Amino acid sequence: MSAVTTLKRKARLADAIRAAKPGETILIPPGEYHESLVLDRPVTLRAEHGPGSVRLTAAVTVRAADCVLQDVTVRGEDPSRPVVSVGADGGLALRGCTVRDGHVEASGAAVLLLERCELSGPVPYAIRVYGEARAEADDLRIGPVAGSAVLIADDAVFTAHRLRTHATRGSAVRVRGRARLRLVDARLDGSSRAGLRVEDDGVATATDTVIHAGAVGLQLSDAASVQLEGCRIDGASASAIVVADRAQLSAVDCVIRRAGANALLATGTGRAVLTDCRLDDARYSAVHAAASAVVQLARVRVRGGAEHGVHAVEGSRVEMVDCDLRELAMNGVHSEARAAVAAQGCRVSETEVGLRLASSVPAEITECVVQRPRRVGVEVATGAAATLIQVRVDAPGVAGMVLDSAEPIRVEGGSISDSAGSGLVCWTDARPDVTGLRIDGARKNGVYVAEGGGGTYTRCEVRASGYAAVHVGARAQPVFDGCRLLDVPAEMTVDEGAAPRMSGSPAPAPVSPGLPAPPPVPGAPLDPEPAEENLEDLLGELGELVGLERVKRDVHTMVKLMQTVRLREEAGLPAPPLSRHLVFAGNPGTGKTTVARLYGRLLKALGLLRRGHLVEVDRSALVGEYVGHTGPKTTAAVTRALGGVLFIDEAYSLVPQNGGNDFAQEAIATLVKLMEDHRDDVVVIAAGYPDEMGRFIGANPGLASRFTRTLEFDDYVAEELVSIVEHQAAGHRYEMTADARTALTGMFDAMPRGAGFGNGRLARQVFQEMTERQAQRVAELADVSAAELVVLDLADLPPHRTGSH
């Protein structure tokens, strides 16, 4: 056991050190000591009465290995000079110490250990490790300081567990030269420059680390290399991560939120690889790639943001796999100049344009989905080239795809559904090669070929367009080969001077386009409000729905009540109390969304809503994942629904059964306030399982006072499910035999009605399975008649669904 000596009162520490044997412990009585110390032998200096009892105003120089300074407060007299210096082959452990007005440094081949220490003061850095020194820290707190908390340079190595820095006027941690840094469970708060800055050939790894409210979260330059895992960068006033020069970044399972500029800015020849990361609410584009930088994104989610999700410019390259980008003020992906973009299996939703490709380097987009863009799903701009393979665009606000370039454009497979304007727009001088594209439910033309346009369209399908399936402008010369045009008001309208060809046939004679087809040109305004609908027609449409007799009666009653309210208002009489908000209680597949959409249209026809559109949301669209996120998300959802109906599916999920204290309560409170603020301009429908909706209504007194009426959606009986199948069959030109109908009724009747029963959704699935089985059956016949192609027979019923389960 090493010797222990207690320093005598009024004795000098320096004398005790000189008299100590190697390995001896010197206990320091309480008091203030003003002397410089040199530890030239392995000794331990420990405050006898614990932390705060000994205050040493001095410079401590360590020249021997295995020295310890414990529970002592050390204060420097000159903030520009080190207060503790470990040099040459010295080694020091600082345990439970407080260091003020001077920094701690280790140089040469020194070894420095800091445990449970605190450092602060007007110093250029609190800790400096350079040369070939090695330093480790555990539970280290630094700040405020006038410069950096930690500076590592040359070939030094620094490892820190639970490092905490705050209020640093320089970068919190700075790595230079060939130094190496490892951070575990660190938190770097409020630096005036970068939270972590790595320069030269420095290498840093950070695990489970938080960088909060700095100017830049992480800054890499020169040939630096950084690896992040499980880290969070939140509230940077500039860009959260900057990768410049030849620097390399790898980030796995990281979250980057509320960047004042980009979440990730890559420039120079830098490379950034992000995997399973999330980028939320950047004030500029979430990812900005410039110069010759390369950015690789795998399973990255981008939520919210004031600009683009991914912006690639100059000669950069962005590669994306299985990424999800949504709720962006501008475009999901935007490329320009000579930037290269490759995306596979990505999903983009609720943006201005889903993918805007304006680069001369061909973009490669494969198996991507664009949902609900406010304008265009995919735009290939002038001078750009692109290959689009199996790209799906759902519910675009203006057009599904706009091809506006004379450069090579190839579209292979994919679909465009429910476009508010035309499905595919081929603009002047564009000559795309389009194969196997399906366009369904476009409110204007399925394919619009503008004046002077062209291209080849092979085995494409246009179904249920609002205008002619195809419109061909003057001087356009498109070629259509093997295309199918189904359920359309007209197959083609052709302007004078156009020369389309279909399956090698001569062009049809020019005809007057009896259905006008103004093209959704890039930059054109959104469609005007839809035409007024007749109340009686809408009620007739309600009556045609299968089943739902109680719901139909309730809706008719509410319509009559609202008509009376409107008449009283027009007569100057006070209106009786009326809440238009509803609870839809029913199991999945019972038609709740269909009736909600019809309800909005009825209210518009009654003059009680401006637009009558439906905005469908669930818990994920309302509830955020961190403080300050939920209110804006809920507000954004209600804002989209103004003038129409906000439909909250599975609303009970906002009130967990275990009563958890998450952000859902904030969503409910925000919703109640907005329902009051916009009580005349929005209707809210809360939907879910019957047994669960009572918990939702009881979660907040404001909900109970606003949701005073519940519509109960009963499960469909077997005959009603068969009617749904027959309706689907008629819409797709199939006919069901009497034997098949009888067997199908028995099959539905025998099915258990548990929680997973799909109701109308199940009926639609059964119809799809029947058509698939019929196709296989007919394909095996040697000689098939036209009648056999449309018949669904007993053999086409799915066998695994028959009988009881």
> For residue range 638-683, what is the model confidence (pLDDT) as tens digits?
888 888 899 988 888 888 766 555 677 888 888 888 888 888 888 9
**Cα–Cα dist 690/712, whole Å:** 8
- Percentage helix, strand, coil, to 5, in the chain? 20, 35, 45
pLDDT value at residue 627: 62
pLDDT interval class at 508 (50, 70, 90): very low
Residue type, 401: M
- State both tokens at 101: 């007005």
Looking at 540-598, which runs of residues are DSSP E strands? Answer: 582-586
pLDDT value at residue 448: 95
| Other CB atoms within 10 A of residue 84 CB | 27
**Given its phi and psi angles, is residue 321 left (phi above 0), alpha (psi -120 to 50 degrees) or beta?**
beta
Q: What is the mean pLDDT of residues 68-75?
A: 96
With a cut of 70, say whether residue 520 has pLDDT above it: no
**Cα–Cα dist 638/646, whole Å:** 7
Cβ distance 424 to 471 under 8 Å? Answer: no
12 Cβ partners below 8 Å, 6+ apart? 35
**Cα–Cα dist 696/656, whole Å:** 9
Q: Using omega within 30 degrees of 0 as the cis cutoff, is the peptide bond preceding 574 cis?
A: no
DSSP annotation of 186 reads: -
- State both tokens at 35: 């002397």
pLDDT tens profile 741-789: 888 888 887 777 665 666 777 787 788 788 877 777 777 776 777 777 7
| Other CB atoms within 10 A of residue 235 CB | 17
Q: Using omega within 30 degrees of 0 as the cis cutoff, is the peptide bond preceding 144 cis?
A: yes
63 Cβ partners below 8 Å, 6+ apart? 38, 39, 40, 87, 88, 90
With a cut of 70, say whether residue 526 has pLDDT above it: no
With a cut of 90, say whether residue 207 has pLDDT above it: yes
Please report how the helices 718-731 and 738-750 are oriented relative to each other, as an axis angle in degrees rounded to 10: 130
pLDDT tens profile 586-631: 887 788 888 898 888 888 888 888 888 988 888 878 887 666 667 8
pLDDT value at residue 422: 94
pLDDT value at residue 561: 82
267 Cβ partners below 8 Å, 6+ apart? 242, 243, 244, 289, 290, 291, 293
Nearest to 114 by CA among 127, 124, 123, 125: 127
Residue type, 797: L
Residue type, 286: A
With a cut of 50, say whether residue 287 has pLDDT above it: yes
| Other CB atoms within 10 A of residue 504 CB | 8
Please report how the helices 630-641 and 664-677 are oriented relative to each other, as an axis angle in degrees rounded to 10: 40
pLDDT value at residue 560: 83
C-alpha gyration radius of the chain: 35
Cβ distance 410 to 385 under 8 Å? Answer: no
Cα 19 to its chain centre, rounded Å, is: 66
Q: How far is CA 774 from CA 20, 726, 747, 784, 794, in A?
A: 97, 15, 18, 12, 10
Nearest to 283 by CA among 307, 255, 301: 307
**Given its phi and psi angles, is residue 266 left (phi above 0), alpha (psi -120 to 50 degrees) or beta?**
beta
pLDDT tens profile 229-250: 999 999 999 999 999 999 999 9
> How does the average pLDDT of the chain come out, rounded?
87
**pTM of the full structure:** 0.64
pLDDT value at residue 803: 36
Cβ distance 325 to 352 under 8 Å? Answer: no
**Cα–Cα dist 773/710, whole Å:** 41
| Other CB atoms within 10 A of residue 501 CB | 15
pLDDT interval class at 548 (50, 70, 90): confident
Cα 108 to its chain centre, rounded Å, is: 48
pLDDT interval class at 525 (50, 70, 90): very low
Q: What is the mean pLDDT of residues 679-694?
A: 84
Output 658 or 182, whichever has higher pLDDT: 182
Cβ distance 145 to 173 under 8 Å? Answer: no
